[in-house]
């Protein structure tokens, strides 16, 4: 492996420096060197000398060059400078000399005809291109002429002249009829090299009026057609009838019958002619003869043989073709035309001339100052070419003198060159048939040596293998390379080292002591440099304990060892394979460090196991076979493969047979069932053993059949139920005598790869089948159904032969016969092959299309003649594409569709068409080469169809009684839309549908406002488009008219299972959940949640399944009605109790004290009467009073107590009296501040109490009617609480005749009325701050209480 890498590296280094060979063209491709070293220009790419361009395309004249510095470019045209900047149509590509002439702006290509030459120049010299002659191709029309009909007597010869127009390049001529069918050609009728059609003798079937000559100009891809030529052949019978009708009975009349004639040459004329051809071209010689019967042409070369492997016969042997002619092919070529009446001949004297060709082309020179060198330019030709030199594009005779050069004919000698001697020299070799131009530069460089190999590069090899150490270098003059061992060691010499010209040092057999440092020294007269590299020689990797062959019983354990020894600096990897594949992905295979263990062995584990050890430098492997056998019976008997047979002996030697005998080996407790005999052919395939035969296990001798010319060795393998034994030792060798081949090659086929060839292939005989030395094959072929002789060629031991110059797709009879030095094999059987296929010539005709419906059509066509298929007919292809939609009149990107119909089918169906569209199609015939021309495009139209659904339907702007519908036209109208159909019907809450209303809408409408709808009603709409054919698919939508102007709609929850109808529930829009009841256990349901709003209806779905039903014995108490009612009653009582206690606690335990106040008759605390006639009460108590009341309630254990005998009440009264007296004694200032603070606090507290009273009164009212007893017991207390919460003004006494609150409890309506009045009076009461300064003491005290 290391050797291969090193050799590859050394080859790669060759391209890095030019000083290794005299003929080097470039300096090294090292980036640093390229930046520093100069190099004259070199032309790398240019257009051909004779450049014929297409007049319809831009002219591109190529000129690319390289050099350092990069060269500049200039051009000459017809020998004078071509100023590109003055011609707006001509541009030069950037960083290139390539010209582009733009003729797309109406400029004619003829205006740029001429001879162009490119010059690439830098400071080191100038290189020039060839003279590039630019000529536009021409394909002129045929000149008009009047063609007279040709009346020919049967049996006469005839020539139909083509005379094609002169084109550039010359056209290709062929004859066809009006149906574009090639006219059949044969030995009797054929086309000459000049394009004329020759008839050796005409027959009545040649009568026709459409002999048409075509000229194909390949460069412009155009075909010109001559006017049809008419030929009428008169048979002798019809001619005699005509004569008899015009002569009297006494006249002697009657045309002569068709008489046979000897051959006469139609072309060339005369007995001799001359032909000049250039060396390397194709020589074509032609002889066409007239005569009856049709003459046969034969060719010979006088005084010599036709060149083998370069000679071909074309046009039914009328044309002799010799490829790659040379001067040796000059001479006289004789063609002989012969039939049963005689013969004629013609001698063509061929002279082969030669345009100049290179013997030694000049090559670039890289020299150092003071060195010598030569440029050699040697060319040959016929006539001998003249050599002329130029320097930097100027003839050397008028170029600046250079004392270092001397011109000596075809050689320039340089001596003691200097740096100024750098230049580019051109050698021109020319004669009357052409010229050669070559550029070669002389680059004078003075460069000290440089070593391009990286310093201290490490090379690693395995011991006993080659080591290659690189030293890539550059310098001018060329450095000398020396190698040293170590840094200061002695120079390396001797047979143990190989020194390559590229500087590489090779150690053929590296040993461990070869490890170390190697120094490469490069030296020239300008300096010296050196580089050190390292070589490490590693120990080889070895398997010191290899896996061994094992026989293991089923279910036992097998283990293979693979112990390795390797160089300690290398890291090995061990891979195990089974039968050369990866180990099975089975946990029974355990790979250890040095072994492979297989647990619980099965029959599938039988096979070959290989241990492969890889390192970065080498690889080794070892294999062993595992045989799995059945577990032994008790007592255990060991079964194994048999031992190999012994003592093989050959007796009874004959030419075709021999007897082999042997002694069986040990059976190993399993009887031998059979023996396998193998042989080795030491003469043809040494080391390869082949199966010979097989005999029963009871037989120890066998008579073997032998083949001639085989050096036999035999071995025997014994087989029992366990397996095969190792092979026996080989027998002695026995060489049979040679003989003729017994068999011929098999699988002979003839298939053309090109239209004008026939590729004959076969399966070669194996070595032992040759029966002797010198195995070859005789390949024979002839055209089928043509009375022709076999053409044969003998080829070497190959398996293919190509016959060139065959007609297109013609059947051939083929046979391949084996032969050796002793003779031929038996006569082979013939097979039928075909020459190469060409593209079909004729398109299917009479293409008809029958439109079945709007999406399906049937196409018919007439089959093309089989002769025009020019190959195996594979079928027909129908190309069809949509041109435009008739409804939209808009074209789009044409996407052609192709349908292939196999075989000779003449019709097919075109599915998937779009309705109401215009289509085109054409039909092409297909053979093995490809597709023929397309038939004229056939246009057909599909009728209208039903339209697709409207693209969308939106329902917007819902109001109480109207909805707005907007829609989009169908994506595929498939015709002219006549109208839209709208159907709608209401849907109630049970999803029942109301009456269906249908509206027809004009096709040009895109919106509609539906009025007079029911408010808050869901409607379902069905909408579709309609053409004259019918209605298309419909789309549906649902929408709801709104309840009020706010337009807030509630979400809807629906659930359904299977195919049942959806059930629907309307849910409040503020909720985010809903409980579905009444579902069936263990059933899958689909739930849909939809939201309705101004933008329409939107929904999402999900799928869920209810749980299984509970057993009837397991009753869930939480779901029983009585339990739920009980829990609700308990919860309600607790709630009522909490509400009452909460009110009493937060209001300080206020009681009705009207009677006590009346009894005490205290004027300060008498309530003041308000305008509304309600009774006022005390609003608050001190903190002491509240705490005292709380303690009293706790002590008594009741939320309510009588106010009649409550001592706390008395205390509260006295405290309030003291507070009143205190205010009377206080000054004005203190009274005002206190009053303002109390005012603000009371305002906030009163608002809070009103809100709390509203909620409490609502709760109390809900329980008002539950019990008359409750109303009687608690009515007075509730009335007192409500009065206090409502904050009625002090001093409001009850009006005359009104019962006291203890005897007339308040109703819920009265409570609501009082609360409403309090709400309305609050703004008025607190709209302005009272002025306490002007009030009397009594008034201030009253205000404070308020």
pLDDT digits 0-9 by tens, 309-360:
999 999 999 999 999 999 999 999 999 999 999 999 999 999 999 999 999 9
pLDDT of 1093: 54
Mean pLDDT of 96-109: 88
* Under 8 Å between Cβ of 999 and 985: no
Average pLDDT over residues 1229-1245: 46
Q: What integer pLDDT is reported at residue 626 of this predicted model?
A: 94
pLDDT of 525: 86
- Residue, of 1143 and 1249, whose pLDDT is higher: 1143
Residue 547 has pLDDT above 80, yes or no: yes
Q: pLDDT grade, residue 219 (50/70/90)?
A: confident
* pLDDT for the residue 1224: 40
Is residue 907 a contact partner of residue 858, using CB atoms and an 8 Å limit?
yes
What is the structure's pLDDT at 368? 87
Q: Which two tokens stand for residue 772?
A: 């002797």
Three-state SS letters, 1025-1065:
EEECCCECCCEEEEEECCCCCCCCCCCEEEEECCCCCCEEE
Would you state the pLDDT for residue 1181?
Answer: 36
Start-to-end Cα distance in the chain: 115
pLDDT band (50, 70, 90) for residue 245:
low
- Here the tokens at position 538 are 């590693």
Cβ atoms of 675 and 716 closer than 8 Å:
yes
SS3 of 212-243: EEEEEECCCCEEEECCCEEEEEECHHHHHHHH
Structural contact between residues 919 and 951, judged by C-beta atoms closer than 8 angstroms: no
Beta-carbon contacts of residue 330 (< 8 Å; ≥ 6 apart): 350, 351, 352
In this predicted structure, what is the pLDDT of residue 370? 87
SS3 151: strand
* pLDDT exceeds cutoff 60 at 1155: no
Please say if the pLDDT value at position 1306 is more than 60: no
Dihedrals phi, psi of 858, to nearest 5 degrees: -120, 130
Q: Average pLDDT, stretch 208-228?
A: 89
User: pLDDT class for 75, splitting at 50, 70, 90?
Assistant: very high
Q: What would the pLDDT profile of 1279-1289 be if each residue is shown by its tens digit?
A: 433 344 334 33
pLDDT tens digits, one per residue of 113-129: 999 999 999 999 999 99
List the beta bridge partners of residue 315. Answer: none
The pLDDT of residue 967 is: 94
pLDDT number for residue 239: 59
Q: Does residue 383 have a cis bond before it (omega within 30 degrees)?
A: yes
Q: How confident is the model at residue 1288, as a pLDDT?
A: 34
pLDDT at residue 1206 tops 50: no
The sheet with strand 527-538 has its strands ordered as 458-462, 527-538, 516-524, 480-485
Quick one: pLDDT at residue 889? 58
What is the CB neighbour count within 10 angstroms for residue 1108?
Answer: 8
Using pLDDT thresholds of 50, 70 and 90, give the confidence band for residue 1051: very low
How do 527-538 and 458-462 pair as beta strands? Answer: parallel
The beta-strand segments (E) located in 821-872 are 823-824, 831-834, 845-853, 856-862
What average pLDDT does the chain have? 80
pLDDT reported for residue 209:
92
Whether cis (ω within 30° of 0) applies to the bond prior to 1304 is no
pLDDT band at 1272 (very low <50, low <70, confident <90, very high): very low
Phi, psi at residue 577, to the nearest 5°?
-125, 150
Convert the pLDDT of each residue in 55-67 to its tens digit: 888 999 999 999 9
**Given this model, what pLDDT does residue 573 score?**
93
Cβ-in-10-Å burial (0-12, 13-18, 19+) of 87 comes to middle
Q: What is the DSSP letter of 1117?
A: G
Q: What distance separates the 2 farthest-apart alpha carbons in the chain?
A: 188
pLDDT of residue 1192: 44
Nearest to 130 by CA among 505, 357, 435, 387: 435
Token pair of 1242 as six digits:
């009371």
Q: Is the pLDDT of residue 1337 over 60?
A: no
Look at residues 988, 971, 969 and name the one whose alpha carbon lies nearest to residue 979: 969
Encode pLDDT of 15-48 as tens digits: 333 333 333 334 554 556 656 788 899 999 999 9
Phi, psi of 815 (to 5 degrees): -150, 145
Q: pLDDT for 1076-1103, tens place per residue?
A: 877 877 777 888 777 665 445 556 677 7
Q: Residue 93 has what pLDDT?
A: 93
| Residue 1155 CA: distances (Å) to CA of 1008, 1167, 1215, 1300 | 77, 12, 18, 9
Looking at per-residue pLDDT, the higher value among 1061 and 247 belongs to 1061
**Which of 857-861, 1051-1055, 1174-1178 has the least mean pLDDT?**
1174-1178
Comparing 655 with 255, the larger pLDDT belongs to 655
Query: What is the token pair recorded at 1177?
Result: 């009460």
Q: Give the number of residues written for the chain.
A: 1346
pLDDT band at 140 (very low <50, low <70, confident <90, very high): confident
> Tell me, what's the pLDDT at 1332?
38
Kindly state the average pLDDT of the residues 576-586.
Answer: 93
Once rounded to an integer, what is the mean pLDDT over residues 1179-1186? 38
pLDDT of residue 235: 82
pLDDT category of residue 205 using cuts at 50, 70 and 90 = very high
| pLDDT confidence band for 921 (50 / 70 / 90) | very high
């Amino acid at each position: 492996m290391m050797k291969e890498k090193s050799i590859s590296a050394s080859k790669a280094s060759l391209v890095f420096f030019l000083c290794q060979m005299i003929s080097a063209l470039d300096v090294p491709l090292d980036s640093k060197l390229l930046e520093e070293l100069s190099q004259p220009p070199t032309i790398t790419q240019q257009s051909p000398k004779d450049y014929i361009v297409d007049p319809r395309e831009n002219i591109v004249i190529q000129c690319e060059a390289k050099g350092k510095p990069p060269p500049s470019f200039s051009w000459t045209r017809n020998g004078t400078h071509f100023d590109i900047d003055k011609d707006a149509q001509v541009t030069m590509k950037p960083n290139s000399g390539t010209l582009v002439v733009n003729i797309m702006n109406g400029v004619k290509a003829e205006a740029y005809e001429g001879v162009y030459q490119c010059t690439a120049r830098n400071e080191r010299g100038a290189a020039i291109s060839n003279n590039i002659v630019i000529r536009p191709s021409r394909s002129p029309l045929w000149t008009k002429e009047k063609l007279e009909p040709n009346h020919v007597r049967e049996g006469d010869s005839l020539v139909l002249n083509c005379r094609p127009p002169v084109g550039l390049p010359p056209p290709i001529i062929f004859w066809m009829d009006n149906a574009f069918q090639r006219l059949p050609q044969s030995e009797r009728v054929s086309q000459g090299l000049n394009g004329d059609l020759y008839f050796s003798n005409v027959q009545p079937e040649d009568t026709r009026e459409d002999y048409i000559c075509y000229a194909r100009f390949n460069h412009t891809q155009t075909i010109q057609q001559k006017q049809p030529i008419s030929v009428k052949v008169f048979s002798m019978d019809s001619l005699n009838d005509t004569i008899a009708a015009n002569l009297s009975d006494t006249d002697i009349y009657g045309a002569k019958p068709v008489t046979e004639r000897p051959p006469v040459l139609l072309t060339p004329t005369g007995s001799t002619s001359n032909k000049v051809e250039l060396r390397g071209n194709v020589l074509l010689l032609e002889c066409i003869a007239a005569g009856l019967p049709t003459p046969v042409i034969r060719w010979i070369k006088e005084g010599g043989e036709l060149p083998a492997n370069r000679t071909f016969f074309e046009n039914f042997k009328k044309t002799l073709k010799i490829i790659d002619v040379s001067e040796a092919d000059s001479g006289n070529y004789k063609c002989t035309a012969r039939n049963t009446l005689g013969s004629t001949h013609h001698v063509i004297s061929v002279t082969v001339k030669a345009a100049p060709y290179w013997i030694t082309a000049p090559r670039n020179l890289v020299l150092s100052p003071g060195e010598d060198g030569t440029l050699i330019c040697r060319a040959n030709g016929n006539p001998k070419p003249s050599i002329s030199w130029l320097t930097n594009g100027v003839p050397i005779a008028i170029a600046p003198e250079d004392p270092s050069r001397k011109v000596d004919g075809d050689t320039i000698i340089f001596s003691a060159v200097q740096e100024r001697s750098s230049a580019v020299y051109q050698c021109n070799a020319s004669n009357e048939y052409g010229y050669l131009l070559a550029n070669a530069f002389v680059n004078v460089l003075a460069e000290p040596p440089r070593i391009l190999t990286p310093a201290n590069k490490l090379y690693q090899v395995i011991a006993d293998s080659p080591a290659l150490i690189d030293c890539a270098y550059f310098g001018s003059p060329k450095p000398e390379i020396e190698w040293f061992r170590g840094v200061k060691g002695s120079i390396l010499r001797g047979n143990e080292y190989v020194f390559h010209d590229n500087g590489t040092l090779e150690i053929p057999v590296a040993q461990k002591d070869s490890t170390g440092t190697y120094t490469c020294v490069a030296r020239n007269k300008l300096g010296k440099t050196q580089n050190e590299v390292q070589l490490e020689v590693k120990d080889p990797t070895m398997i010191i304990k290899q896996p061994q062959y094992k026989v293991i019983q089923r279910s036992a354990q097998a283990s293979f060892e693979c112990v390795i020894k390797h160089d300690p600096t290398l890291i090995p990897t061990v891979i195990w394979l089974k039968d050369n594949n990866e180990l099975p992905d089975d946990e029974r295979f355990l790979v250890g460090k040095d072994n492979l263990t297989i647990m619980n062995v099965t029959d599938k584990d039988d096979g070959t196991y290989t241990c492969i050890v890889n390192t970065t430098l080498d690889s080794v492997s070892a294999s062993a076979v595992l045989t799995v056998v059945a577990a032994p019976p008790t007592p255990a008997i060991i079964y194994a493969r048999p031992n190999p047979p012994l003592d093989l002996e050959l007796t009874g030697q004959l030419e075709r047979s021999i007897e082999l005998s042997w002694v069986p080996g040990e059976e190993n407790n399993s009887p031998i069932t059979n023996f396998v005999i193998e042989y080795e052919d030491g003469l043809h395939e040494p080391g390869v053993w082949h199966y010979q035969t097989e005999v029963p296990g009871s037989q120890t001798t066998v008579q073997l059949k032998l083949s001639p010319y085989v050096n036999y060795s035999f071995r025997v393998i014994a087989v029992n139920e366990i397996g095969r034994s190792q092979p026996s030792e080989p027998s002695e060798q026995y060489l049979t005598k040679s003989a003729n081949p017994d068999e011929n090659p098999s699988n002979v086929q003839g298939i053309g790869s090109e239209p004008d060839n026939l590729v004959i292939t076969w399966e070669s005989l194996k070595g032992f089948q040759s029966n002797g030395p010198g195995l070859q094959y005789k390949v024979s072929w002839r055209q089928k159904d043509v009375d022709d002789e076999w053409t044969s060629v003998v080829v070497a031991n190959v398996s293919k032969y190509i016959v060139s110059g065959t007609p297109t797709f013609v059947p051939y009879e083929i046979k391949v016969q084996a032969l050796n030095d002793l003779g031929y094999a038996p006569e082979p059987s013939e097979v039928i092959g075909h020459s190469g296929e060409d593209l079909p010539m004729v398109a299917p005709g009479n293409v008809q299309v029958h439109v079945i419906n709007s999406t399906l059509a049937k196409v018919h066509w007439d089959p093309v003649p089989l002769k025009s298929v020019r190959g195996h007919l594979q079928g027909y292809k129908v190309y069809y594409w949509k041109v435009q939609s008739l409804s939209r009149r808009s074209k789009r990107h044409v996407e052609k569709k192709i349908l292939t119909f196999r075989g000779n089918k003449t019709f097919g169906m075109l599915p998937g068409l779009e309705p109401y569209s215009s289509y085109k199609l054409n039909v092409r015939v297909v053979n093995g080469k490809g597709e023929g021309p397309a038939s004229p495009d056939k246009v057909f139209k599909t009728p209208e169809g039903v339209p697709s659904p409207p693209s969308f339907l939106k329902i917007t702007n819902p109001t109480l009684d109207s909805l707005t519908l907007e829609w989009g036209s169908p994506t595929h109208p498939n015709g002219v839309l006549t109208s839209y159909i709208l159907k709608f019907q209401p849907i109630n809450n049970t999803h029942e549908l109301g009456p269906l209303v249908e509206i027809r809408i004009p096709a040009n409408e895109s919106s509609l406002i539906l009025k007079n709808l029911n408010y808050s009603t869901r409607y379902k709409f069905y909408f579709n488009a309609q053409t004259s054919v019918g209605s298309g698919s419909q789309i549906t939508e649902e929408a709801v008219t709104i309840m009020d102007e706010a337009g807030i709609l509630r979400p809807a929850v629906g659930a359904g299972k299977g195919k049942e109808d959806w059930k629907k529930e309307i849910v409040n829009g503020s909720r985010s959940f809903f409980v579905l009841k009444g579902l069936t256990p263990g059933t899958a349901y689909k739930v849909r949640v939809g939201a309705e709003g101004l933008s329409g209806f939107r929904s999402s779905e999900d799928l869920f399944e209810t749980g299984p039903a509970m057993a009837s014995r397991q009753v869930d108490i939480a779901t029983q009605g009585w339990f739920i009612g009980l829990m609700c009653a308990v919860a309600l009582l607790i709630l009522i109790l909490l509400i009452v206690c909460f009110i009493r606690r937060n209001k300080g335990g206020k009681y009705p004290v009207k009677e006590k106040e009346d009894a005490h008759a205290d004027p300060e605390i008498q309530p003041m009467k308000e305008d509304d006639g309600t009774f006022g009460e005390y609003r608050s108590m001190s903190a002491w009073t509240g705490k005292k009341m709380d303690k009293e309630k706790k002590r008594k254990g009741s939320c309510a107590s009588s106010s009649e005998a409550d001592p706390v009440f008395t205390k509260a009264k006295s405290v309030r009296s003291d507070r009143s007296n205190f205010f009377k004694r206080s000054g004005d200032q203190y009274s005002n501040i206190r009053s303002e603070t109390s005012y603000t606090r009371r305002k906030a507290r009163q608002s809070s109490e009103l809100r709390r009273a509203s909620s409490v009164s609502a709760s109390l009212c809900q329980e008002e009617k539950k019990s008359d007893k409750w109303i009687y017991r608690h009515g007075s207390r509730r009335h007192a609480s409500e009065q206090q919460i409502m904050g009625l003004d002090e001093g409001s006494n009850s009006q005359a005749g009104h019962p006291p609150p203890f005897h007339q409890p308040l109703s819920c309506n009265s409570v609501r009325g009082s609360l409403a009045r309090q709400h309305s009076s609050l703004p008025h009461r607190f709209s302005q701050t009272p002025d306490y300064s002007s009030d009397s003491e009594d008034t201030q005290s009253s205000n404070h209480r308020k």
